[in-house]
Amino acid sequence: MVGKRKWPRKPQFGYDDNHWLSSRCTVKLHQLQALVASAEAGSIRGAARSLGISQAAVTRALRELEAEQQLPLLVRSPSGLSFTEYGKTLLKHARLMLSQLAQAQDDLSRLRGQNVGRLSVGVTPWIMLTFLPEVVPLFRQRLPEVRLELYESLMAVAQPLLRDGSMDFAIGQLQPSATSVEFSSEALFDYQTAVMVKRGHACQDCRSIHDLLEQNWTLNYAPDGHQALMHEVFWQHGASIEEHRIVRAHSLAMLQIMVEMADMCTWGPSILSMAPSFLGRLHVIPLAETFTPRQLSIVRRRNSTLSGAAECFIDCLLQVIRRHSRSAKKEDQQLFETLTLLV
């Protein structure tokens, strides 16, 4: 067909087969950097600016990448860049590779006595409200030059960031779903959960989940966690709620506003009712139905390695948690009424 570009077919066997594999796997670092920068900037010009090189150099790197992979990766148009399915696949792996290389460089710098680099951590809200204010200063004392980035790690937010390497690890609850095969976890706590409303809510003395099915609810869950959450809160107790009554909240602040100002019910860690910002304002409903304790874990991409900075942060976290677990203070003892430490 005249004018149509033909991508070479893969040979079927022998030396040519190995040669095809080696040629298809030839990728240079600057090409991956150009690919990722172009995706993040949305244009060649923006990529060149972020990388500090010329537009011609970015264009050349992308064309070389397409030629070496023998696949169309990008679609160029007046409105900007978009990616083919081949390009999207390579982009996902390119981000992971660059993230791992940056982590390796940070670790080498640390071994040279230079505590520099970046650490990105997702933190579940109740850890953020209880232990995190002590963890961060301790970490800063140990590694003052590391740039620390913290996310409010509801797993709906954390999963895509873990997946593309933007987040080093998360302290959260990994959903028992199909996507969990992408991640590994190390358990920290078993924690109790409960249905909660604002103090003074008309339903605060209800005794069954069935009495709350006409109420409006606000819940948080990862995109792949909806079925598991519905089973945990409603279905296993023979309760069925109309989906339109549930507002999915993507942040603790949004969930708090819906509970306190829109009179919605929610379900989550019982410890939230004892956290300083909720103390005296959030009420645990004494339901006859019980919920299986959940696990809070260190969650990361499967087969990934933790940087020295990540291991230091986890060590600081465990030090603070263990100190509070041994404390005789009333507020600490109340916290650990709903927690079981596993490490």
List, as one string, the DSSP characters of 6-74. Answer: -PPPPP-SHHHHHHHHHHHT---HHHHHHHHHHHHHSSHHHHHHHHTS-HHHHHHHHHHHHHHHTS--E
Higher local confidence (pLDDT), 99 or 81:
81
Yes or no: say if 297 and 174 are a contact pair by the CB < 8 Å rule.
Answer: yes
205 and 65 in a common domain: no
Q: What is the structure's pLDDT at 115?
A: 53
300 and 158 in a common domain: yes
Q: What is the structure's pLDDT at 86?
A: 86
Q: What is the mean pLDDT of the chain?
A: 82
Which of 97, 125, 158 delimits the end of a domain?
97
Share of the chain above pLDDT 70, in %: 85
Residue 269 inside a domain? The answer is: yes
280 and 208 in a common domain: yes
Residue 21 inside a domain? The answer is: yes
Query: Residue 310: which CATH number?
Result: 3.40.190.10
Query: Residue 81: which CATH number?
Result: 1.10.10.10
Q: What is the structure's pLDDT at 134?
A: 96
CA distance 331 to 11: 69
Reference 247, options 235, 236, 255, 239; nearest CA is 255
pLDDT at 78 > cutoff 70? yes
Burial class (CB in 10 A: 0-12, 13-18, 19+), 97: middle
Residue 109 inside a domain? The answer is: no
Yes or no: say if 106 and 116 are a contact pair by the CB < 8 Å rule.
Answer: yes
Q: Averaged over 14-37, what is the pLDDT?
A: 59
202 and 288 in a common domain: yes
204 and 142 in a common domain: no
Q: Can you give the residue range of the structural domain that contains 328?
A: 115-190+295-341
- Provide the token pair at 288: 């006859």
For 156-194, write each residue's pLDDT tens digit. 678 888 887 788 999 988 765 545 578 888 899 899 999
pLDDT at 79 > cutoff 80? no
For 101-130, write each residue's pLDDT tens digit. 776 776 666 565 555 578 999 999 899 989
Residue 234 inside a domain? The answer is: yes
pLDDT at 226 > cutoff 70? yes
128 and 68 in a common domain: no
303 and 239 in a common domain: no
The 3-state DSSP class for residue 319 equals helix
Tallying the residues shown for the chain, one arrives at 343
Higher local confidence (pLDDT), 288 or 50:
288
286 and 197 in a common domain: yes
Q: How many structural domains are present in the chain?
A: 3
57 and 22 in a common domain: yes
210 and 178 in a common domain: no
Higher local confidence (pLDDT), 29 or 198:
198
Q: Averaged over 197-218, what is the pLDDT?
A: 96
The 3-state DSSP class for residue 225 equals coil
Q: Could you tell me if residue 3 is left (phi over 0), alpha (psi between -120 and 50 degrees) or otherwise beta?
A: left
- Provide the token pair at 314: 């986890």
Residue 8 inside a domain? The answer is: no
226 and 139 in a common domain: no
* Diameter over CA atoms, the chain: 82
pLDDT at 81 > cutoff 70? yes
Higher local confidence (pLDDT), 257 or 35:
257
Which of 292, 314, 331 delimits the end of a domain?
292
pLDDT at 80 > cutoff 80? no
Residue 9 inside a domain? The answer is: no
At CA 171, angle to CA 150 and CA 179, rounded to 5? Answer: 110
Structure pTM? 0.65
For 196, other C-beta atoms within 10 Å of its C-beta total 22
CA distance 233 to 241: 10
Q: Averaged over 311-334, what is the pLDDT?
A: 92
Reference 185, options 159, 210, 209, 204; nearest CA is 159
Q: Averaged over 84-103, what is the pLDDT?
A: 79
Buried b (16+ CB within 10 A) or exposed e, 166-194: bbbbbbbbbbeeeebeebbbeebbebbbb
CA distance 86 to 91: 9
pLDDT at 10 > cutoff 50? no
pLDDT at 24 > cutoff 50? no
258 and 199 in a common domain: yes
Q: Averaged over 210-232, what is the pLDDT?
A: 89
Residue 7 inside a domain? The answer is: no
Give the range among 132-141, 219-228, 334-343 with minimum mean pLDDT. Answer: 219-228
CA distance 195 to 212: 10
Which of 65, 97, 129 delimits the end of a domain?
97
Reference 172, options 270, 333, 157; nearest CA is 157
Reference 124, options 188, 199, 177; nearest CA is 188
Q: What is the structure's pLDDT at 16?
A: 37
Confidence of residue 6 (pLDDT cuts 50, 70, 90): very low
* 335: DSSP letter: H
Residue 108 inside a domain? The answer is: no
Q: Averaged over 191-198, what is the pLDDT?
A: 95
* Beta strands per DSSP E along the chain: 74-77, 80-83, 118-123, 147-152, 169-172, 183-191, 193-198, 217-219, 246-248, 266-269, 282-284, 294-301, 339-341
pLDDT at 313 > cutoff 90? yes
CA distance 172 to 236: 23
- Please give the C-alpha separations between residue 333 and each of 49, 163, 274, 295, 341, in angstroms, as whole numbers: 54, 37, 11, 19, 13
Q: Averaged over 210-214, what is the pLDDT?
A: 97
